């Protein structure tokens, strides 16, 4: 099942993509696509709906973030061996955990805005997931039951803020528009094995990132279980799980985003995103 949110920013409606790729309106059945809705039994409601009975949405609306009411945006760093190697970082012995601000979330086709003075903004295609139930200190075997669905995240990063300023990575990860998610959330029954998916990203029509989730250092199940050992994962939390090689920081010489650049990125079974990079207004 592919679930989507569409409409103007802050006014998104819930939708579903049918088997022919047609957007259908779900607002007559559910209020929104959120982790808390999944925890309250959203899937039971959706299983009883024939997509053909839902109203068609034919006016090509804006596609918004595929998840609303995000509680906390967790992220895993250096989770692909070849990405760690390209950046000169040691292979981590445990998952590297950091935050992105929920305020950085935008839709999959919205512009990415460079913060004032940005000189080292970078791209990162990643597999992300939504937590659909409250989970604390769960095992890897229990992790799958905590996941409501999967989607694409572009973990846009300002490397100067992240690596050359004092403190945590977080300050380079949270700028407004630095978290495009979507275009849709795919439920685990349709997405199937998350460790068997290809990822890619093109910058201005040139392939820069090519990866496969089988190359993850820490699997999805391990990540969810691991994070839950340190904190309570709540329904509505999202976790983005690291990027494969091919980021601008790993190139020699480095390549960073500038106004006018276009990113096009995708993951098997999850569709594709496209963003144009723009300068900070004013």
C-alpha count within 13 angstroms, C-beta hemisphere, residue 36: 7
The reported pLDDT for the residue numbered 270 is 98
Residue 116 · residue 86 · CB < 8 Å = no
pLDDT above 90: residue 84: no
pTM of the model: 0.96
Residue with tokens 């992300």, as numbered in its chain: 128
Distance CA 121, CA 114 (A): 7
Share of the chain above pLDDT 90, in %: 91
Average pLDDT of the residues in 263-275? 98
Mean of the per-residue pLDDT values of the chain? 96
pLDDT grade for 132, boundaries at 50, 70 and 90: very high
Residue 38 · residue 67 · CB < 8 Å = no
The reported pLDDT for the residue numbered 236 is 97
The reported pLDDT for the residue numbered 83 is 79
The per-residue pLDDT for range 165-218, each reduced to its tens digit, is 888 889 999 999 999 999 999 999 999 999 999 999 999 999 999 999 999 999
Superfamily (CATH) of domain 73-278 = Fumarylacetoacetase-like, C-terminal domain (3.90.850.10)
Read off the DSSP letter of residue 93: S
Tokens, residue 146: 């905590």
The per-residue pLDDT for range 56-79, each reduced to its tens digit, is 999 999 999 999 999 999 999 989
**Burial track 235-270 (b if 16+ CB lie within 10 A, e otherwise):** bbbbbbbbbbbbbbbbeeeebbbeeebebbbbbebb
The reported pLDDT for the residue numbered 140 is 98
Domain ranges of the chain: 2-53, 73-278
pLDDT grade for 88, boundaries at 50, 70 and 90: confident
Residue 124 · residue 155 · CB < 8 Å = yes
Residue 31 · residue 46 · CB < 8 Å = no
The reported pLDDT for the residue numbered 72 is 97
Sheet holding 147-154: strands in order across?
Answer: 23-25, 13-17, 2-6, 185-186, 147-154, 125-131, 238-240, 73-77, 96-100
Three-class SS state of 139: coil
The reported pLDDT for the residue numbered 48 is 86
């Amino acid at each position: 099942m592919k679930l989507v949110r569409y409409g103007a920013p802050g006014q998104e409606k819930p939708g579903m993509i049918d088997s022919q790729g047609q957007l259908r309106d779900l607002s007559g059945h559910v209020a929104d696509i959120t982790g808390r809705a999944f925890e309250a039994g959203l899937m039971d409601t959706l299983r009883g709906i024939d997509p053909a009975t839902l109203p068609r949405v034919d006016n090509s609306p804006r596609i918004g973030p595929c998840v609303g009411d995000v509680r906390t945006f967790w992220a895993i760093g250096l989770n692909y061996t070849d990405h760690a190697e390209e950046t000169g970082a040691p292979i981590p012995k445990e998952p590297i955990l950091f935050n992105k601000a929920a305020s950085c979330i935008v839709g999959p086709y919205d512009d990415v805005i460079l913060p004032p003075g940005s000189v080292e903004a970078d791209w990162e295609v990643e597999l992300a997931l939504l937590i659909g139930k409250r989970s604390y200190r769960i095992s890897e075997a229990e992790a799958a039951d905590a996941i409501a669905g999967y989607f694409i995240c572009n973990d846009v990063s300002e490397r100067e803020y992240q690596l050359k300023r004092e403190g945590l990575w977080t300050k380079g990860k949270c700028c407004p528009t630095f978290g495009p998610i979507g275009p849709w959330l795919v439920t685990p029954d349709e997405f199937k094995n998350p460790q068997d998916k290809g990822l890619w990203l093109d910058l201005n029509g040139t392939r820069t990132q090519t990866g496969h989730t089988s190359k993850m250092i820490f699997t999805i199940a391990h990540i969810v279980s691991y994070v839950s050992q340190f904190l309570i994962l709540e329904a509505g939390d999202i976790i983005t799980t690291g990027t494969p090689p091919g980021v601008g920081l790993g190139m020699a010489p480095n390549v960073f985003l500038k106004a006018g650049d276009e990113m096009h990125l995708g993951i098997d079974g999850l569709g594709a995103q496209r963003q144009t990079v723009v300068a900070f207004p004013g």
